[in-house]
Amino acid sequence: VALEQQEAEEVHRILVVLSDLFRGRGAEMQATVDAATELDVLHAKAQYSMRIDGVQPKLADDGRLELRGARHPLLTGKAVPVDVLLIPPVSVLVITGPNTGGKTVALKTAGLLPLMAQAGLLVPVADGSQIPVFRCVFADIGDDQSIAANLSTFSSHIKNIVDMNDALELPALVLLDEAGAGTDPLEGGALAMAVIDHFRTRGAKV
């Protein structure tokens, strides 16, 4: 028992000495951790880009969003690629069609891929794709009704749109899913057109 106690004390003494040595080189330790972190992030980006068969899109100098053969990175198997084209002077794209037609997936793809590119990732698109650099990307997707906050589906959409408008800085991408939903169809349709036109006149891609 006495020998085990002496051993524990010696281990503790050695650890204290080593800790004191490192404590005197805190800046170098932090620099080492920072470098290891940066290398790990770069490696992870490269590995992920290879896994999704990503390519390097061209940075558009005229603000165009030209996604050719784009695939949502989370879809595996035989995902059907889509073309999302917002080429000047066009700044608004309205996607319509039946339910389960992939409209929301296309919308999410259009928002996710530019953000991936700006984060230094290759993106799952075909050659010839071009992506601008956005200062902000906004998305109102899904149903955010809340009993706790006393928000209906319609009012939650309106709140999101107001928040987007307040924080908008160009160049910007605004994604609206089911714009004008959750209220009377005629009134909702008119409101949706007004909201889309408002963001268009502010200079955003919609």
Helix axes 185-201, 153-167, angle to 10 degrees: 10
Percentage with pLDDT > 90 across the chain:
57
Residues 69 and 166: their CA atoms lie apart, in Å, by 33
CB 128 within 8 A of CB 68: yes
Q: How far is CA 168 from the centre of its chain?
A: 16
Whole-angstrom CA distances from 130 to 29, 49, 63, 84, 125 are: 41, 17, 9, 11, 10
* Per-residue model confidence as pLDDT tens digits over 61-89: 888 999 999 999 888 777 788 999 999 99
Q: Tell me how many degrees the CA angle 109-112-117 measures, rounded to the nearest 5.
A: 120
Residues 62 and 76: their CA atoms lie apart, in Å, by 32
* Per-residue model confidence as pLDDT tens digits over 97-113: 777 768 888 899 999 99
CB 167 within 8 A of CB 173: no
The pLDDT score that the predictor gives to residue 151 is: 52
> What is the phi/psi pair of residue 162, to 5°?
-60, -45
> What is the phi/psi pair of residue 196, to 5°?
-60, -45
The backbone region for 79, taken as left when phi is positive above 0, alpha when psi lies in -120 to 50, beta otherwise, is beta
* Per-residue model confidence as pLDDT tens digits over 122-134: 999 999 899 999 9
* Per-residue model confidence as pLDDT tens digits over 6-57: 999 999 999 999 999 888 888 998 999 999 999 999 999 999 999 998 999 9
Q: Tell me how many degrees the CA angle 179-103-49 measures, rounded to the nearest 5.
A: 120
